[in-house]
Structure 1
Amino acid sequence: MTLAQVILAATLGCLTLPSTHAYAEIVRRDFTVTSQDGLQIFVRELHDSDAHFDRGPMLLVNGGRSGVLASWDVDAPSSSAAEELARAGHRLYLMDVRGFGRSAFPQEMNEGRFGVPVAVRSNEAVRDITAVVDEIKRRNPDEPRLTGMGWATGSQWLGHYASLHPETISHLIYYNGAYGGPAGGWRLQAEFADPEHPAELNYSRHGSYRLATAEDLAGRWRNEGIDPAFLERYVALSMEGDPTTGEREPASFRFPSGPTADTLKMVNGRQIFDASFIRAHVLILRSAGDFWSRPTDVQTLLAHLTSAASAKLVEIPGVSHYVHLQPTPDRQKFLDAVLSFTASVMRERQS
């Protein structure tokens, strides 16, 4: 399939899947929970009914642009990182923070991009995570284990949540997330910051929410030999949650500016949360070629995790921000790091 066909398919919304489906032993069930302020939050439960080990529940959170299915569960052959984690024995819960993927959009995103507050700040994401974790605990009574991992801003939100609710997360994987430390050195500073106020979003350019086209999503991979089946699903899953996608030319989906606004503070000397309150076992996992997190972010976070049950930094050499998406030897390095960390919670299932 050509990229043009991918864009057309995504625009027409013809590639969505039903809410309950299974591939071999992988079982998916979709549901929603209600956040504290009434917004419906999408969750997918995914597990391998034939897994030989039980690593406990794991919460996966979307990144700062595409929703959680595009972030973690691209259902092209061999492309879903969530499936690999499920086969290793985790019961996955994938959630979209408000304004992303299949979750409800806040009021700020149902109006014009300008003249309204920046949509979806970290404190609002924490409300959504709280509602989902409460439901995970309800579905897994007497289960003390819960691993949390997000992609970039997803990890930032989980870190904020874990600092406020330290008793609920047993293992935290902070993957390619910013945190804090000395200001400067962020690769995206010029693109997103107010030129006169480096810690503030350039609101006059970006507004309350931003727009992404299929070209924005897939253009960088056009000539890199990326599997067309993966591109097809990645684009379609990214676009499917926004009912207004086809109203613009070219087709585009809305996503909140809040994560970028919060990250600008974090990389300019203003922390969003204090990691010293986190009590989980923590793996700080960073791609050496990452453009979102900085080396100083992970070193500062590591120094601040003074109350953590344990804290470890792993940097994967020679890989990008997107390493977990594609089934490559580099992705296996990512999976090996994650599963080595969660091996301590693994129990053998009795047949």
Structure 2
Amino acid sequence: MQKSIADSIISEEMMIPSDTAGIELFVRNKRRSDLVRFSVEKTVLFVAGSTYPASTSFDLRLDGVSWMDHLAQQGYDVYLVDVRGYGKSTRPSEMEEPASDNQPIVRTPVAVRDVASAAAFIRSRRSVDRINLIGWSWGTTLMSRYASENLAHVNKLVLIAPQWLRTTPSAADSGGPLGAYRVVERSAAKSRWLNGVPDDKKNAILPPAWFNAWAEATFANTGLGSDKLRAPNGTVQDSREYWASGKPLYDPSLLTMPVLIVHADLDRDCPMDMAQTAFSKLSAAPYRRWIEIGDGTHSVFMEKNRWQVFAAVDGFLDERMPA
């Protein structure tokens, strides 16, 4: 009898220390049960964007398989981390107080330190000096900034819907004064996800059952019932002070590892011109690649065309440069 995915993949969950007393980070690891030797080329860390956690995005089983499962099946040692204030990681104390009592929290430099904590943990655990990084949305900024500051510790870099200087309003910014965090409602999540998608394509691109699976996982155990969550506002403040003000938070020209950018044509959160500009500035990468996917949104890796994302990333991670 053929083993199921659940039988053949080991899944471990752990809380690791951050660089801040009282703040722990949730890390999940998946790997094949027969994987006993670990390597630079086959070690991967995921980090997500500015509203939702990595743990309900990259390890969301759709048609029985998550992206983490897929990579684990290919022989990868796969990790994700929820940065502080997101998912299962510690919520800073400001998130238990009225939002208006504090300034926006979990800004980019803080989250980059959380990525650094997770990456150092993985390198130590597996005795490898470099790992592969996959970031999505704000996570592309975190991974790019971390990589530019830790060139010796990054093997390859994958950027899904990369941030860059904005000429359009951020979808996460509703305007007005910003407190420490914002409350996001499940009822608004689907319309934001499918912003700009023609009505006759919505159910095909995002099958309703797939959205419901994501929403059930994402809005569970938030402390606000099953239809709301708190999202730190640090990224919104960063968007106002940096991305919308002509000041990038990372420098693509400092990245000296191979870089893959994956973008989808219906992405309204990070429009194509943003990704194109970031791509054009990867002047130090030994090679760089752009993959544009049709009929996909900002969350293309959780939609009907996610297999194209998987295939593009598989090919990029698996290939070896000629000697």
Scaled to the shorter chain, the TM-score interval is 0.7 to 0.9
Task: Indicate the residue corresponding to 1:235 in structure 2.
Answer: 215
Task: Indicate the residue corresponding to 1:37 in structure 2.
Answer: 20
Task: Indicate the residue corresponding to 1:188 in structure 2.
Answer: 170
Aligned residue for 1:270, secondary structure, equals coil
Number of corresponding residues: 305
Matches within 5 A, 1:61-72: 61-72=47-58
Task: Indicate the residue corresponding to 1:87 in structure 2.
Answer: 73
User: Cα deviation per residue 1:139-182 (whole Å; 9 max; x = unaligned)?
Assistant: 111x34411112211111111111111211111111102123xx
Q: CA deviation at 1:64?
A: 1.6
Matches within 5 A, 1:1-351: 23-38=6-21, 39-49=23-33, 55-75=41-61, 77-141=63-127, 143-180=128-165, 184=167, 186=168, 188=170, 192=173, 202-204=175-177, 206-218=178-190, 224=203, 230-242=210-222, 244-246=223-225, 251-264=227-240, 265-326=242-303, 328=304, 330-344=305-319
> How far apart are the structure 2 equivalents of 1:173 and 1:269?
24
User: Cα deviation per residue 1:108-160 (whole Å; 9 max; x = unaligned)?
Assistant: 2221111311111100001101110011101111x344111122111111111
- More off after superposition, 307-316 vs 41-50: 307-316
User: Unpaired segments of 5 or more residues in structure 2?
Assistant: none
> How far apart are the structure 2 equivalents of 1:79 and 1:230?
12
Counterpart amino acid of residue 335 in structure 1: F
Counterpart amino acid of residue 23 in structure 1: A
Q: CA deviation at 1:283?
A: 0.7
TM-score (norm 1): 0.78
The structure whose RCO (Cα within 8 Å, separation 6+) is larger is 1
Counterpart amino acid of residue 312 in structure 1: R
> How far apart are the structure 2 equivalents of 1:215 and 1:116?
26
Q: CA deviation at 1:79?
A: 4.6
Shift in CA distance, 280/267, structure 1 to aligned 2, threshold 3 Å: farther
> How far apart are the structure 2 equivalents of 1:290 and 1:229?
21
Paired residues of 2:187 and 2:227 also in contact (CA < 8 A)? no
Q: CA deviation at 1:45?
A: 0.3
Percent identical across equivalent pairs? 24
Paired residues of 1:73 and 1:81 also in contact (CA < 8 A)? yes
TM-score (norm 2): 0.85
> How far apart are the structure 2 equivalents of 1:100 and 1:345?
35
Q: CA deviation at 1:207?
A: 2.6
Aligned residue for 1:86, secondary structure, equals helix
Q: CA deviation at 1:240?
A: 3.0
> How far apart are the structure 2 equivalents of 1:164 and 1:49?
34
